[in-house]
Amino acid sequence: MEQYDVAILGAGAAGLIAADFALRMGVRVVMIEKDRIGGDCTWTGCVPSKSLLHVASVAHAARRAERLGLRMECEPVDLAEVREYLRKTIAQIYAPTAPESLRARGLDVCVGPTHFEDAQTLACGDERLRAKKILIATGAAPRTPAIAGLEQVSYDTYLTVFENDRLPQHLLVAGGGPVGCEVAQAYRRLGAKVTIFAQRLLPDEDEDVSAMLREVFEGEGIEVVPGKAEEVRGEGGAIELRASQRWVQGDRLLVATGRAPVVQGLGLEQAGVKYSSAGIVVNDQLQHSVKHIYAAGDVIGGPQYSHLAGWQGFQAVRNAMMPGASQGKAEVLPRVTFTSPEVAHVGMTEAEARARHGRSLVTRSLPLSRIDRAVNDDDRVGMVKMHATRAGKIVGATIMAERAGEAITEISLAMRNGIGLKDLASTVHPYPTYNSGIQMLATQMVLDVAFSGAKGGLLRMLARMGSRG
């Protein structure tokens, strides 16, 4: 039986980053994966979805080129060729993490069905191994919603939708979260008719953001049925989906109603690992009550993002192998939905910030029409919005723009390191950029506070006195 210092169950974002860090510490590491190295992000999530969105944005730009003074033609989309492009991007990103590449770096890899035999013994296929420390990073899988008749029809989830080779005439989408919104817009821009069923688009975002995105979708021809999908039926090649009393017919269905932690079939009971449908129970340092076992990423529940999973994988191995303990729950966590425009958020929503800070809160927004680079790029719908205390501490922000995912990092860094509004306002930003809009908004917020109330009156009086020499 092979003996290891660290065994990592799951080869997605959390597992790969954890394994790389463990190797750097010079310990013996084995990575165990039941399916394919790379996990959802590489094969069925981030990589194919963003590649599909890129293709769709090119097609959309070609169709709208006339408004820029150009004349372009866009032939009907061949989704089989698009699928080949997705496969090429996946292959390029996968290559450095293929088993042979990992083994060449000194990492042992076992691919096959896996379960615990006891708290330190694992079976992977025909192999058995023991490890002093174990990290569980098995991720999550599509959650099956309570839609009557769903088991009787054929439907896609994010696990299958990126392998489609035929553009449907009418795509029905159940769910208005990031996956549902991204795929809905991509398919519409590629030429399919799309109807999305959701009580609200991006329900975790501020209501004004959801409303703005709905306006964008409807402007592009996506119908939004405001309600949760309740029943589905199909006959031949047709599928009908119902919300309340409204039936809509299409020829393909995507179910995008969330993900559930993968905890079944691992033999966790044999290791004494406590879990529920919400995931594996760990403390703030990602450690289970079975002290040598840690868990990270989607399998512990909570926010499900590849960047968070990778960060937690690093923290878990650090806590398992080194003295002291690092926090495994991110205090500042940015997220991005890669629709067009993108929706990026960090910290509290406006409702959360108002509930927490009340009258001491300052919330302001800057429309994209005030950000010159957005105007240059014909990026018309969106805004930069920040929430801060009157003392200048930033507590949340949302950016809705074509480059929101890049721009939100500046605010995330500021929040993580205690950099306030005055610091953002006084830092010279290059022009014209999207981030210059952050500086403009921070400056506006600082001045709003400075020139309000009695303090503002005093400042204006001093300014008048100074102007008289």
In tens, the pLDDT along 33-85 reads 999 999 999 999 999 999 999 999 999 999 888 888 988 877 889 999 999 99
What pLDDT score was predicted for residue 459?
65
Distances (CA, A) of 37 to 11, 185, 241, 424: 5, 29, 35, 41
What pLDDT score was predicted for residue 457?
67
- Rg, C-alpha atoms of the chain: 25
Q: Given the DSSP bridges, would you call strands 246-250 and 140-142 parallel, antiparallel or unpaired?
A: unpaired
Q: Given the DSSP bridges, would you call strands 121-124 and 114-118 parallel, antiparallel or unpaired?
A: antiparallel
What is the DSSP-derived secondary structure letter of residue 292? Answer: T
What pLDDT score was predicted for residue 417?
97
Tokens of 201: 């688009």
Residue with tokens 């069905």: 113
Q: By C-alpha distance, which of 402, 342, 60 is closest to 220?
A: 60
What pLDDT score was predicted for residue 468?
66
Q: Which residues pair with 336 in a beta bridge?
A: 344
Measured distance CA(350)–CA(29) in Å, rounded? 44
Measured distance CA(80)–CA(108) in Å, rounded? 36
Query: Is pTM beyond 0.85 here?
Result: yes
Measured distance CA(66)–CA(58) in Å, rounded? 14
Measured distance CA(108)–CA(236) in Å, rounded? 48
Q: Are 373 and 454 in contact (CB under 8 A)?
A: no
Q: How many helical (H) and strand (E) elements, i.e. helices and strands, does the chain have?
A: 15, 23
CA neighbours closer than 13 Å in the CB half-sphere of residue 165:
4
Tokens of 171: 């795509």
Pick out the chain residues at pLDDT < 70.
Answer: 453-454, 457, 459-460, 463, 467-469
Q: By C-alpha distance, which of 398, 381, 338 is closest to 180?
A: 338
What is the DSSP-derived secondary structure letter of residue 191? Answer: T
Tokens of 464: 């008048």
